[in-house]
Amino acid sequence: MAAPRSALTRTPAGKLRARGLGVPFDGVPGENNAITDVAGVAVGYATLIRGAGALEIGRGPVRTGVTAILPRGRADLAVPAFAGCHSLNGNGEMTGFIWIEEAGRLDGPITITNTFSCGLARDATLRWLLERYGSALTATHGLPVAAETFDGYLNDINGFHVATEDVFAALDGAGGGPLEEGSVGGGTGMICYDFKGGSGTASRRVELCGRACVLGVFVQANCGDRKGLTIAGVPVGRHLSGPAAAPAERTDGSIIAVVATDAPLLPHQLRRVAQRCGLGIARSGAVAAHGSGDIFLAFSTANAAAFAPGATFRAAEFLPDERIDPLFEAVVQATDEAMMNALMANETMTGRDGHVVPGLPHAEVRALLAKHGRLAE
């Protein structure tokens, strides 16, 4: 069944998505073209926007937030998931990375925020688990995943404005269905290709060994520079008019990508899926610069029974390695589209000290795509 056109072209708040502008993409999207198309996956946001004018550390202006991803939703939060991760360039942070590499499993929620709030998000997640589920769950889920990208050009990052209650709000508010994108959650203060970036998502339907499966990607996009921006193969960044979004002294950004799938995969296969996020990012022109933290995580919601309690042998279903290529293709496509959605579902933002980051100029992009014959039919 085809996805509803409204979900493909607009966010719930009516923001334009990349397909709504006419950007062509390969592959078949899921119902909402979002990571939440993988059954059970839930996403929540806490968005902090307040203040204007000159920076006063500790007072603002504030342009930041938290994103929460529950791999199995609230009902099955205690059930781990097979997982794998990959660092394309390691100038960034993702807590819990070492345990995922060691054990091949993801335990509990994922949070994404700004660089200086990553530790708080990790600790607040543990507090949330303790308060909502009790000590039994925190004992086995004591290494939660918290990841970050830097929002200090727009946000009073030294003011540490993300609080424990914000992390709680994102976790408590996590749900399924269509998602908002752009300047929401952890992506609120982010910059991508020198335009306003942030949170984006996309999904793909694939058939594997005769079974219909879904793969979804969520990105917090804060990477790349304008000259590299490429959309549907067109180097639009070189031809867009107007001033650059940020001065030369702005440091390289980063990107966090989270991949979910209901395809039955083992940890080594999920690590390989995570690696392919880098190919999706490269499609739009990012190069994983020295100062960029490009860190990816992939998990599977299949094989829940493999984590049942008890000291006995377990069985796990898995896709043969030689049949994994459709998933590789899907993650490349969905990562590229998620980045485009983070850019498209956005608008100009003014942050601390009057710093302005423009939204991507939709009409100009559409005209460039039309000139090169790259508008979707």
pLDDT band at 251 (very low <50, low <70, confident <90, very high): low
Predicted confidence at residue 137, as pLDDT, reads: 80
* Residue 294 is a catalytic residue: yes
Whether 363 is covered by a domain: the verdict is no
Predicted confidence at residue 1, as pLDDT, reads: 40
Beta bridge partners of 147: 94, 112
Predicted confidence at residue 312, as pLDDT, reads: 87
Whether 360 is covered by a domain: the verdict is no
Predicted confidence at residue 191, as pLDDT, reads: 97
> How many residues belong to the chain?
377
Selecting among 183, 292, 300, 336, the annotated active-site residue is: 292
Whether 369 is covered by a domain: the verdict is no
Q: Does residue 244 surpass a pLDDT of 80?
A: no
Number of domains, the chain? 1
Which domain, by its residues, includes 343?
5-21+28-353
Instruction: Look at the block and give the residue holding tokens 């990508």.
Output: 257
Predicted confidence at residue 5, as pLDDT, reads: 63
Q: What is the CATH number of the domain that holds 54?
A: 3.60.70.12
Selecting among 194, 252, 294, 336, the annotated active-site residue is: 294
What average pLDDT does the segment 150-171 reach?
97
Whether 153 is covered by a domain: the verdict is yes
Whether 255 is covered by a domain: the verdict is yes
What average pLDDT does the segment 121-142 reach?
89
* Residue 151 is a catalytic residue: no
Whether 358 is covered by a domain: the verdict is no
Tens digits of per-residue pLDDT, 306-336? 998 887 898 999 999 999 999 999 999 999 9
pTM over 0.85: yes
Whether 368 is covered by a domain: the verdict is no
Selecting among 254, 262, 300, 336, the annotated active-site residue is: 254
pLDDT over 70 percentage in the chain: 96
* Residue 203 is a catalytic residue: no
Q: Does residue 25 surpass a pLDDT of 80?
A: yes
Whether 115 is covered by a domain: the verdict is yes
* Distances, alpha carbon 25 to alpha carbons 7, 216, 219, 326, in Å: 15, 15, 17, 15
Q: What is the CA radius of gyration of the chain?
A: 19
